[in-house]
Amino acid sequence: MEDQKTDSPPAADAKEKGVSRGGLALLGVGAALLAGVVGWNALKDGGEEPAPVVAAEGAPLTLEQLRERAEADPLNSEAWTELGFALSDTGDFAGAARAYRQAIEGDKDNAALWSALGEMRIYAEESNPMPPGALMAFQKAFELDPTDYRARYFLAVQKDLTGDHEGAIADWLALLEDTPAGAPWDENLQRTIEQSGKKYGIETASRIAKATSARPEAPQLTAGNAIPGPSQQDLEGASAIPPGEQRDMAVGMVESLEGKLRANPKNPDGWVMLMRSRMTLGEPDKARKALADAVKANPANADRLKDEAAALGVPGT
């Protein structure tokens, strides 16, 4: 397992270097909290009280349990990926990077793992906004999958850091054009383009408008639109939960939903809900697996499920 301190995104002064710490991140407490409060509403089943947060196979594993499970099986990519996600939530980005690097040993052609590794290597490095190990990981991700959103974003960041500001903006605009409207990184990406253009005197407003108007019309997310957003009360309640417990809440809700779908798979709306939750939690591979399971259980709804997965940005759709 690789052990080097070149593992994740820049700190507070990173904005001056053209990099947003939030970047294209699908990881972290913010995403978990969002998934939690949305899931909270989605699982109410029409009642006033939320559905009990019970994982499909027990309570969410603790960090130590995740570590023990991963170390017991060095080639279990899923176990190492979950450990990496949990470590990133605690702010241990170097540890998360090592976990993602080991996850790759069990799934070497997984572009999402390579780009997650690159992102963690940036976050872990305090002095270099684009450490060599991170750049290598993004290049490998792009080689495996030229559509990988995170790799494309950070490879454009590299251009920006080397002084090719116009090239970076052009690449970000191309990424924006391919980004499904409402994707978790959509607003951050547009903000990055706007801020970079303003800083370097490059006009971006009309180009952003053109890029967003050129995006294919997103399929109607019937199930997604049916999921109510968090109320102010939900947000206030969730914000009072310690960060370390926010992920457990979110994961518990998503696993509860998955458990219900295993018991009753003839529920296309539920599968869309699960795919959206997995994408919000930064688990694209699990979202892709949910799509496959959904199509298998609901062949008559295969086209609709694939359309909704594409609108959510599920890989391979």
Interval 224-243: pLDDT, tens: 444 444 444 544 554 555 55
User: What mean pLDDT value characterizes the chain?
Assistant: 75
Confidence class for position 20, pLDDT limits 50, 70, 90: very low
The mean per-residue pLDDT over the stretch 298-306 comes to 89
Give the closest residue to 222 by CA, choosing from 281, 307, 294.
Answer: 307
- Report whether 50 contacts 44 (CB < 8 A): yes
Contact 50, 59 (CB under 8 A): no
Residue 55, pLDDT above cutoff 70? no
- pLDDT in the model for residue 12: 28
Q: pLDDT at residue 203 above 90?
A: yes
- Provide the pLDDT confidence category of residue 221 given band limits of 50, 70 and 90: low
pLDDT score, position 224: 47
- The pLDDT-based confidence of 272 (bands split at 50, 70, 90) is confident
pLDDT of residue 82: 84
Residues 11, 126 contacting (CB under 8 angstroms):
yes
Distance (Å, whole) CA 135 – CA 142: 11
Lowest mean pLDDT among 121-125, 182-186, 285-289: 182-186
The residue with greater pLDDT, 226 or 295, is 295
Name the residue with higher pLDDT: 277 or 243.
277
Q: Which residue has the higher pLDDT, 224 or 169?
A: 169
* Predicted local confidence at residue 155, as pLDDT: 96
Weakest mean pLDDT among 9-23, 97-111, 287-301: 9-23
Residue 289, CA distances (Å) to 103, 216, 270, 283, 284 in order: 17, 25, 14, 10, 9
The pTM of this model reads 0.62
Residues 66 and 84: their CA atoms lie apart, in Å, by: 9
Burial class (CB in 10 A: 0-12, 13-18, 19+), 25: buried
The pLDDT value given to residue 242: 54
User: How much of the chain exceeds pLDDT 90, in percent?
Assistant: 36
Collapsed DSSP state (helix, strand, coil) of residue 164: coil
| pLDDT for the residue 217 | 58
The pLDDT value given to residue 126: 87
With a cut of 90, say whether residue 51 has pLDDT above it. no
Residues 6+ positions from 102 with CB-CB distance below 8 Å: 1, 2, 70, 74, 80
Q: Tokens for 311? A: 């609108």
How many angstroms separate the CA atoms of 66 and 69, rounded? Answer: 5
